[in-house]
Amino acid sequence: MNNYEQNDTARKANYWTAILWVPYFVLFIYLIAYQFPITYEGDSLTPVTVLLVIGALIGFPLYILVINFFGFVSDDKPHSQKENEDV
């Protein structure tokens, strides 16, 4: 496998990672809500906790994109630079 094919494969993996988190996220939320329903009003979340959850929900896709971006940038370095970094 040459260097171009490796970069192309890595880019496809980054793309699918950025896309496929959505169905897993929806499935996870559905399963948690189904397994642990709120049957008592005292179990409901406080407003501050809800804000933290919303922040985490917004931050997770950004985290995935940042990780993919850094992987993409490190793959774009010329091969000679990668060899010099290992020394």
Where do the domains of the chain lie? 3-80
pLDDT at 83: 56
d(CA 20, CA 35): 23
pLDDT at 52 over 90: yes
pLDDT at 68: 76
More confident residue, 10 or 58: 58
Averaged confidence pLDDT in the chain: 77
More confident residue, 21 or 59: 59
Global pTM value = 0.50
- Burial class of residue 16 in the structure, from the number of CB atoms within 10 Å of its CB (0-12 exposed, 13-18 middle, 19+ buried): exposed
**19 residue type, one letter:** I
